[in-house]
Amino acid sequence: MSRFSDTSFKGLKALVRVDFNVPLNDKFEITDDTRMTSSLPTIRKILADGGAVILMSHFGRPKGGPEEKYSLKHLLPHLKSLLGDNIEVKFADDCIGESAIEQAKNLKPGEVLLLENLRFYKEEEKGDKGFAEKLSKLGDLYVNDAFGTAHRAHASTAVVADYFPAGKKMFGLLMESEVNSAEKVLHKAEKPFVAIIGGAKVSDKILILENLLEKATDIIIGGGMAYTFCKAEGGKIGKSLCEEDRIDTALEIMKKAEEKGVSIHLPSDSVIADAFSATAQTSTSPSNAIPDGWMGLDIGSYACEQFINIIHKSKTILWNGPMGVFEFEKFQHGTREVAKAIAEATEKGAYSLVGGGDSVAAVNQFGYADKVSYVSTGGGALLEFFEGKTLPGIAAISE
Ligand code: AMP
């Protein structure tokens, strides 16, 4: 497999798949540009080598044809300001066709061309070969830097790679660091390895839990999903979140963990509330004896201590999903303490990977993003990686 860093792009046009699917407000202003800034090192390296960059991305969920609000042209001014005045950034109002080909052909070294939204063609998500081949004609090499969509077998994320010979397709710097970080945790974890899994739904996390049973030393389960496990063990959970149809699954996971010698840790106590509200009345309770009419919305102080101790003694840490309803100040203590403990363990030499929308939002909000080893940009893609699935975007280049 060709390495991006070892490649010289001098005189070449690189077709770069990025994930520029940034959130916009109703004035078309970008409210979080992380996805754009994450791909800047890749773009800059190609330009610095004397190459030209053709950027392609999806944006929002258009219904299979052009829609003004999903045009990537809204991102052009910000892209220009990120790259600086001395870089020429052009826009093609179609991602395939005569004009895109013409603009790509005329692109000079050091210039950038942003193509219009790939999802204006339904062929993109269908992984259509003809569409992928048309895209491939635009560049001399294919660079995939879109980890966020690596779990999709779309034309631009996977199929297009078939039209480039080995040596002319590679991961970009973001994709490379995402893959290295995820592989380090899943396949080369130094033990003890703790996986901290939280959030609302057990059903979303079953596959990841099952796969982690093969890898982790400890699994901490927090957040709303913990209460289905507490109930499965015979606890009383009041009106806490519970997926009744997943109680058997929770029992099976706990049984398998025991057989494999993996320790599953549930929160011994909870901060409980009389309503799902930022202003609810609160109290504390053992997680298996929550009074009727009350719900667990955060892990309690004993659980915090218990989880912090496990995190501190671990050498590898994976965190996906908050410990409570951290969006409400009254219930953010557990998530904040876990973030802090991960930062402390990292400082003492552990390797920590934080991934999944809400845990990333939490480390950012609490100021720990630069104190953990790696913050992933991929939500669904990272989850699928840890479920043990082959990601089409990775396989298309590495196989
Ligand atoms: P997920 O998308 O499954 O990772 O879930 C994230 C969401 O879970 C966040 O919005 C949290 O507010 C929510 N959450 C975490 N803990 C709880 C809880 N104890 N009860 C209800 N929702 C929770």
The ligand 1 atom nearest the CA atom of 222: 16
Whole-number Å distance between alpha carbons of 78 and 93: 17
Q: Which pLDDT value is given to residue 33?
A: 92
**pLDDT recorded at residue 60:** 94
Q: What 8-state DSSP symbol labels residue 107?
A: P
Domain boundaries, the chain: 4-174, 189-386
Are the folds of 4-174 and 189-386 the same? yes
> Could you tell me which of 142, 200, 178 has the C-alpha nearest to residue 17?
142
pLDDT at 282: 98
Q: Is the CB of 296 under 6 A from ligand 1?
A: yes
Rounded to whole angstroms, how far apart are CA atoms 69 and 71? 6
From the CA atom positions of the chain, what is the Rg in Å?
A: 23
Residue with the smallest CA separation from ligand 1 atom 20 is: 224
Q: Give distance in angstroms: CA of 199 to centre of ligand 1.
A: 4
The yes/no answer on whether domain 4-174 falls in CATH 3.40.50.1260 is yes
Q: What is the pLDDT of residue 2?
A: 85
Q: Which residues make beta-bridge pairs with 92?
A: 115
pTM of the model: 0.94
CA max distance for the chain: 70
Quick check: CB of 199 below 6 Å from ligand 1?
Answer: yes
> Is the C-beta atom of 324 inside 6 A of ligand 1?
yes
- Alpha helices (runs of H) in the chain, residue ranges in sequence order: 34-37, 40-49, 76-83, 98-106, 122-126, 129-136, 173-187, 202-212, 226-232, 247-260, 301-312, 333-347, 357-365, 380-386, 392-398
Phi, psi of 99 (to 5 degrees): -70, -35
139 ligand 1 Cβ < 6 A? no
| Residue whose pair of structure tokens reads 């706990």 in the numeric block | 254
- 162 C-beta neighbours (distance < 10 Å), count: 14
CATH of domain 189-386: 3.40.50.1260
The pLDDT score that the predictor gives to residue 28 is 87
What is the per-residue pLDDT for 320? 96
Q: Are 216 and 193 in contact (CB under 8 A)?
A: yes
What are the mean pLDDT values of the chain's consecutive 10-residue runs (399 residues total)? 94 98 90 94 98 97 93 97 96 96 98 98 98 98 97 98 96 97 97 97 94 97 98 98 97 98 98 98 98 98 98 98 97 98 98 91 95 94 96 94
Compute the CA torsion angle 163, 164, 165, 171 (nearest 10 deg). Answer: -130
Q: Can you tell me whether residue 15 is helix, strand or coil? A: strand
**Ligand 1 center to 269 CA (angstroms):** 17
204 lines ligand 1 (CB under 6 A): yes
Spatial separation of the C-alpha atoms in residues 290 and 270, rounded to whole Å: 8
Residue 385 to residue 399: CA distance in whole angstroms:
16
Secondary structure element (H or E) that encloses residue 282, with its range: strand 282-286
Q: What is the pLDDT of residue 109?
A: 98
Spacing, Cα 26 to ligand 1 middle (Å):
26
The whole-number pLDDT of residue 1 equals 81
- Out of 240, 241, 325, mutate this one to test ligand 1's pocket (max ligand atoms within 8 Å of CB): namely 325
